Amino acid sequence: MKKYLIALVPVTLLAVMGLRSTSHSAEKNLTVAYKFSEDDLKPTETQKKVEELVTQILTNYHYRRVPLNDSLSSKILDNYIKELDGNKMNFTKQDIQDFEQFRYSLDDQLQKGDLTAAYQIYNIYRKRAKERFTFVNQLLTKPMNFNIDEVYTPDREKAEWASNKQELDEIWRKAIKNTLLDWKISGKADSSAIKDLKERYSRSEKYFDKTKSEDVFQQYMNSFTESIDPHTNYMIPKAAAQFNQEMAQSFEGIGATLRLEGDYVTIIELITGGPAYRSKALKPKDRIVAVAQGENGAFTDIVGWMTDDAVKLIKGPKSTTVRLKILSGDAAVGSVPKEVRLVREKIKLEDGSAKKDILEFTNNGRSYKLGLITLPVFYRDFEGVRKGEGDFKSTSADVKKFLTELKAEKVDGVILDLRNNGGGSLVEAVSLTGLFIPQGPVVQRKHADGEISAEYDRDASVTYDGPLGVLVNRFSASASEIFAGAIQDYKRGIVVGEQTYGKGTVQTLVDLGRFLKGEPDNVGQLKITMEKFYRITGSSTQHKGVTPDIQLPSGFSAEEYGESSQPSALPWDMIATTKYTPSSDVNEQIVASLNKKYQEHLKSETDLKKLVADFDYWKKAKERKTISLKEDKRRKEIEEQKKRNSQDLAEELADVEKPEAKTEVKTDSVSIAQAKQKAAKERREKDAYLKETERLLTDYIFLAPSNGIKITQNKK
């Protein structure tokens, strides 16, 4: 499942709202005088038509209705340059000055289907990259002196562009020296390090030569679409086919969506229910630097590899082991990659289904029995619905069954864990809310034309009316935010955790082939934002997300993760509240008392104190922008970090499901189920966020002993 909600109806609306078919006439001339050389990549005639069509759709039907003007043109240029050379390692200041000629003309070119500037900039980038490959080969013929006291700054995003080729050479010299020093300290021989680094850049150069015109086109078009909003994207036919396959079929491997960002194959998304997701050792923006097969296979460095080639190493037959070296997306400068061990599986969408557990917990001198429902995604079998199947699989049906079972087991309260739940079906978000409240509005929707509507739970029955805790984190998004926001607004339960992602928009998939028929090439798809969500209070979930009643420590800042980290994200705003009747389960006094309890827990509970200390350490470590290139100093830096990491890494690896000792492995279904239950219980015991939610929910029950809980019925 993707981290956005898909609305299908507006796709058909585009066809009847006056969007004309696109065609080019011979009299349209290029506005930029540029002659492509024999070696240059060039746009196709089909791509020019797609560019013009996408421009029409975005300017007429995108929620934002951003005018195509000089201001947008400027953003597109900056985005494109950043997309190509975000770390400022290839272009020089003179190149950037030369590109200024396009700053206020890209808007005009988009309307005319003119891609000259896009390809001119890329071809210069291609030339500069080849110059870098030549420089690296020359540099690696000379010995490195690791006794000189100098420093390297890996993150150059905010640095000035190199003034000239000589300054760029110096930046690259330090980058290469940094890699060789790391390998030297890890025990790799100098000759082997030189050989491996030469192979890395030789491989990168070959990949560069394999880049096709359609790859350049997608990069440029997404520099355009993402200037309007981060969730609007153009997908070339190859990417669209992969997307459609992922939405419809099962996955095989570790269960992660990968993309090349700079030199690193980067995790974009974890497939719900897969090995990578369940390991809890990986997250979006983590970078894979090396891959090894089996328990003892040697690591292969994949920095600079194309994604397709890296995937060939990472994928493999189910039940086999793959080991990854991971550089965390939020790692401090100079961090040592951690090793993550995963067992490949065939992953089906149902692996993302809700799970139920019983938790035994003691607090305030009393034993409690709590129900835990873990919900990785909001799923709904739309095909089953279409066929009229009465027992089609859905989130609300599964959770309703669990709640009925938990009530029969006389639990004292229920925790609904929505951490890392990126969303899914809007219908299910509404239906799930309906299990906890009487009938009433759940979420409001504002369409691109300004029309506002509300989605209602129309079933007056309540499946569960007992104490409820909703656990969220920074990666709870979209449908998760709709549900958590509704529970909070109805004062139906307590929301605990981190501020959520802040994605309050809906995307529609548009098959561009419907408007460009008869083209020799497939034309791909456009994912476009056409709606925005609002809570029943009128507050948008966009940008701000849902702020928990009790906010737990977080290692993820809004500036780095979430919707608010995206410069082009739609803004937060408000519309009128809709009529609804909140319950009396939670009030300001209870929330204030629980926050007071939480402050006491911060001082007394070991797991929380360790969590806060770890976050403080890493925040300070991330403030360090340079690393030493002097061997003795670098060794000291690495040893200090290893001491800090060793215990945490051991705990992470212990959490990964491992087979029993080789002496005796029981493979019957009962033994496997018991082993999984044991591993899950051990992970829960080490889960500081879950433990604190258990404390707070039982504190809530203790503070409000009358919680039966009876809900005031909504007025129609």
Given this model, what pLDDT does residue 270 score?
Answer: 80
Could you confirm whether 142 is annotated as catalytic? no
**Residue that the structure tokens 């978000």 belong to:** 429
pLDDT in tens, 636-694: 888 877 776 655 544 544 444 444 444 454 555 556 556 666 666 777 778 999 999 99
Handedness of CA 231, 235, 240, 242 (dihedral sign): negative
Rounded-to-integer distance, Cα 320 and Cα 336, Å: 26
Pick from 169-178, 417-426, 498-507, 667-676: least confident:
667-676
Residue 341 has pLDDT above 50, yes or no: yes
pLDDT in tens, 545-560: 999 999 999 988 777 7
Q: Are the C-beta atoms of residues 85 and 158 closer than 8 Å to each other?
A: no
Our measurement of the distance from residue 473's CA atom to the centroid of its chain's CA atoms, rounded to an integer in Å, reads 13
Q: Which entry of 204, 396, 478, 540 is annotated as an active-site residue?
A: 478
Could you confirm whether 202 is annotated as catalytic? no
Rounded-to-integer distance, Cα 516 and Cα 53, Å: 8
Q: Which of 471, 358, 375 is nearest to 412 (CA)?
A: 358
Token pair recorded at residue 511: 């098959």
3-state secondary structure of 633: helix
pLDDT tier, 15 (very low <50, low <70, confident <90, very high otherwise): very low
262 φ/ψ sector (left φ>0, alpha ψ -120 to 50, else beta) = left
Rounded-to-integer distance, Cα 607 and Cα 688, Å: 6
Pick from 319-333, 530-544, 594-608: least confident:
319-333
Rounded-to-integer distance, Cα 401 and Cα 410, Å: 14
Distances in whole angstroms, Cα of residue 61 to Cα of each of 10, 47, 448, 450, 540? 9, 21, 7, 12, 21
Rounded-to-integer distance, Cα 110 and Cα 73, Å: 9
pTM: 0.80
Could you confirm whether 489 is annotated as catalytic? yes
pLDDT tier, 31 (very low <50, low <70, confident <90, very high otherwise): very low
Beta strands in 151-205 (DSSP E): 151-152
Read off φ and ψ for residue 75, nearest 5 degrees: -65, -40
Q: Which entry of 75, 177, 283, 503 is annotated as an active-site residue?
A: 503
